[in-house]
A = this chain, B = another copy of it.
């Protein structure tokens, strides 16, 4: 049912945690299942995302996509990070069952919310 990469990022998620005094924080909720996700970005003066952490109450698919998404945005600049789609994250995980696609949207939405938070502060 789940790819090896999904199971790897689910059982050993990367970048779980919080960042104090983050440059941007994005919190989103999933109306379909009631889950929540928060992403913290640490962006340097050149606009590079040097660190990123996430927390979620979501399921394994939400954990795996957030873990992969944080890996993909790390080291990118703000413009590049905005272009990372949910589809790119799912492709990097070798796909997700159709019923779990809505869970994966949490990561994209939380990153966009955190980038928006950063933009409005700068």
Contacts and interface: CB of A to CB of B under 8 A. Distances in A.
Contact of A57 (B34, B35, B56, B61): B61
Most B CB contacts (10 A, CB to CB) among A2, A33, A56 go to A33
Interface in A60-113: 60-62, 97, 99-100, 103
A59 interface: yes
A1 B14 CA distance: 26
Contacts of A62: 59
Given A59-B62, A60-B58, A61-B57, A34 B99 contact: yes
22 contacts: A1-B36, A2-B57, A10-B57, A32-B33, A33-B33, A33-B59, A33-B99, A33-B103, A34-B61, A34-B97, A34-B99, A34-B100, A35-B59, A35-B60, A56-B60, A57-B59, A57-B60, A57-B61, A58-B59, A58-B60, A59-B59, A59-B62
